[in-house]
Amino acid sequence: MANEIESGQTRSKEVVSSSGEVILMQDIGFSYGKNQLFSHLNLRIKKGNIYGLLGKNGSGKTTLLKLLCGQLFPNEGYTSVLGFDPIGRKPAMLGEIFYLPEEFPLPKMKASEYLKMRSGFYPRFDHAMFEQFCRDFDLDMQQNLNEMSLGQKKKLLLAFGLASNTSLLILDEPTNGLDIPSKRQFRQTVASAMTEDRTFIISTHQVRDMENLIDPLIILHDGAVIFNDTVDSITDKFVMDLVTTEPDKGEEVAYKEKVLGGWMVLKERDEKEGGKGQPLDLETLFNVVVENPACMQGGVK
């Protein structure tokens, strides 16, 4: 078993160092019973980024994350996570992944006891870092876990995950249940814990909470990844503008939305106009990609 793990780790380093990819999914098919969710899904994730995973309700974001962790098994296709096949659920792989689900039960014990119980599983766990995160999140380690609110529990697990120093952190709706100051604190903490060897995948509906944090973006739609690129790749090609009248049908716009004071339109960037235009927010970008995937072909990887 030791040899197996060793060879797995060696393989992991080779895969990551040669291509910079920590995750590779090819032709993934997955279904819940007869309900086909993914068909020929492809995904590449490079290390050292904070990926945002976006998609409509039921698009399969959580399922995709569980496939990456080895909690669910695909019906077909090839998956490599940190050089391991997640189906094997090898301890060497699990020790390099921290997964924070949207809902989770915690045992009836003090936070300090929980830390003592679980930290040993992660060889690079940094206790000093954990204490710092707990101070940042205003957490009391002597408090019982069953007396904590959902937000406090989530902050505790976030602090734990960040301090575990795993190569891959998968966070499913991490800002759900967090109060407004905590959301800001969350962004700051994640940004401070980011290193070039770590990769974050954050699945969220609260795109405004993640503005300026997540980039690149992965957008799941109709059982496939329809967008996997940086926000800049869109802003380089398109420009957002506020116009007072609705664009004509003949006018070439990628997206339009009625807003206060007129229409927000996204159109191809004119070289002459240069950097003019409104900043493109993630919510609009998501709507553009989902409603008009064809015009984003250049952005789809």
Partner 1 sequence: MNRFGLLINREVQTSKRDLSIYAATLFLILFVFETIQSFVTQYSYSGYSSAVYAGLFPNFLFFGGLIITSMAFAEDMFSKNGQQEWLMLPATSLEKFLAKGVLTAFVYPVALIAVFFLSSVITEPIQLLFFGNPVTLFNPFTRAMASQLALYWVWHSIFLLGSTYFHKGHFFKTVLSLGVIGIALGVLGLLFVKIVFSIKYGSSLRTFDVIFSFDSLLFQPARGAAGAFRVFSKVLYFVVLPLFCWVTAFFRVEEVQATDAV
Q: Which residues bind partner 1 (CB under 8 A)?
A: 1, 66, 69-73, 87, 89-92, 94-95, 97-99, 101, 103-105, 107-109, 113, 117-118, 120-122
Give the nearest distance from C-beta 142 to partner 1 in angstroms: 16
Q: Is 168 or 214 the residue whose CB approaches partner 1 more closely? A: 168
Give the nearest distance from C-beta 167 to partner 1 in angstroms: 13
Give the nearest distance from C-beta 115 to partner 1 in angstroms: 11
Give the nearest distance from C-beta 89 to partner 1 in angstroms: 7
Q: Is 161 or 277 the residue whose CB approaches partner 1 more closely? A: 161
Give the nearest distance from C-beta 87 to partner 1 in angstroms: 8
Contacts of 83 (CB under 8 A, 6+ apart): 8, 9, 11, 12, 13, 14, 15, 16
Q: Is 91 or 181 the residue whose CB approaches partner 1 more closely? A: 91
Q: Is 156 or 264 the residue whose CB approaches partner 1 more closely? A: 156
Give the nearest distance from C-beta 103 to partner 1 in angstroms: 5
Q: Is 113 or 211 the residue whose CB approaches partner 1 more closely? A: 113
Backbone angles phi, psi at 29, to 5 degrees: -120, 135
Tokens read off for 283? 């919510």
Q: Is 51 or 99 the residue whose CB approaches partner 1 more closely? A: 99
